Amino acid sequence: MGALGTNGVAVLLLIAFVQYQLRNGRPDNYYLKYRWQPSACNLPRFDGTDFLKRNRNKRIMFVGDSISLNQWQSLACMLMETTKPVPHYNSYRTGAVSTFTFLKHNVSVMFHRKAFLVDIVNKKYGRTVELKSIHGGEIWDQMFDGVNLFKNMDKLVAYEMALNTWARWVEEEVDPNKTKVFFQAISPLAARRKCMKATRPSTEATREPEAQVIVEKVLESMSTKSNKYYKARPKVEVHLLDITRMSQERDDAHPSKYVNQHTIDCLHWCLPGLPDTWNNLLYAHLIRLYTW
């Protein structure tokens, strides 16, 4: 492994988790062998060295829940392949942020755990999701929309409010000359009975998750010609990393019962596996968007 910074061990543990699938004796390995082929174009083949060259001196940060963690782990592993046979990276953790820095090109790939994007704070009445604010936090008992506290609010209504808060934050804080913003769409949860049985992708038609409809609506509302909330600021374009449909076909790609005896995981994804394809899509977006 590469030279470790402070708390490097914590990051390496996360990476060790990555390999659990193979260690825990999943008998089939078809799930490793699929590539995503869009019908109207070809995805560029992921080239880690090229990825690092193009992103020289840049930081790439994943912000979100354990699904973002999944994708970050995947990208870190894909890029680590480029440093073989001599490992050449640093890994360290500072507070809620874990980082891999690939030294040759000075590219940092970071993960900031912030499951709800908006804030969660301690109030007199319990842990509260602040649908109208973004700073830090996690785990909650209730929601606050700026006026009222709700114990039981429709989750999709809350999701839309929180996403709009996030959209406003992006338009206020992000300098599009310095920062590009991607929104990873909804990663589908598989039904247990399906993911436990599946060894091949499914071709069954599935409905678009309702949360995905909300993501599209909020991003669409941001796609005005100028900054939607702050007229004096430049417009920020948010790119949708549209992984939902392709992931809905991959009931076979969850860890399922191969995590440990006590868990059946139909939420996260095996690595190597589907999140590598998400990162290939990210790579394709980056190539299309920027000329270096």
Ligand X SMILES: *[C@@H]1O[C@H](CO)[C@@H](O)[C@H](O)[C@H]1NC(C)=O
Alpha-carbon distance 167 to 117, whole Å?
Answer: 11
Q: In the bound complex, what is the minimum distance in angstroms from residue 175's beta carbon to ligand X?
A: 6
Alpha-carbon distance 210 to 180, whole Å?
Answer: 26
Instruction: Give the type of residue at 249.
Output: E
Only one of the segments 53-61, 110-118, 155-163, 217-225 lies at the binding site for ligand X (rule: CB under 6 A); that segment is 53-61
Please select the residue that binds ligand X; options are 6, 37, 39, 57, rule is CB under 6 A: 57
- How is residue 65 written in tokens? 């829940």
Q: In the bound complex, what is the minimum distance in angstroms from residue 274's beta carbon to ligand X?
A: 28
Listed residue (290, 282, 284, 270) closest to 70, CA to CA: 270
Q: Tell the residue number behind the tokens 């990825």, with chain if given.
A: 51
Q: Which is nearer to ligand X, 29 or 106 (CB)?
A: 106
Q: Rounded to whole angstroms, what are the CA distances from 81 to 17, 45, 47, 102, 105?
A: 17, 14, 10, 11, 14
Binding mask 154-183 for ligand X (x = CB under 6 A): ---------------------x-x------
Please select the residue that binds ligand X; options are 19, 66, 94, 106, rule is CB under 6 A: 106
Only one of the segments 57-65, 78-86, 196-204, 206-214 lies at the binding site for ligand X (rule: CB under 6 A); that segment is 57-65
Please select the residue that binds ligand X; options are 108, 133, 142, 202, rule is CB under 6 A: 108
Using DSSP's 3-state secondary structure scheme, residue 197 falls into: helix
* Range 125-154, binding ligand X (CB under 6 A): none
Q: Which is nearer to ligand X, 154 or 175 (CB)?
A: 175
Q: Which is nearer to ligand X, 57 or 203 (CB)?
A: 57
Q: Is 59 in the site for ligand X (CB under 6 A)?
A: yes
Q: In the bound complex, what is the minimum distance in angstroms from residue 133's beta carbon to ligand X?
A: 25
Q: In the bound complex, what is the minimum distance in angstroms from residue 75's beta carbon to ligand X?
A: 16
Alpha-carbon distance 125 to 163, whole Å?
Answer: 24
**What's the longest Cα–Cα distance across the chain?**
58
Only one of the segments 51-59, 128-136, 180-188, 215-223 lies at the binding site for ligand X (rule: CB under 6 A); that segment is 51-59
Please name the residue ranges forming H helices in 100-209.
155-173, 192-197
Which helix or strand (DSSP H or E) is residue 215 part of?
A: helix 210-222
Residue 152 DSSP class: S
| Residue ranges binding ligand X (CB under 6 A) | 57-59, 106, 108, 175, 177, 234
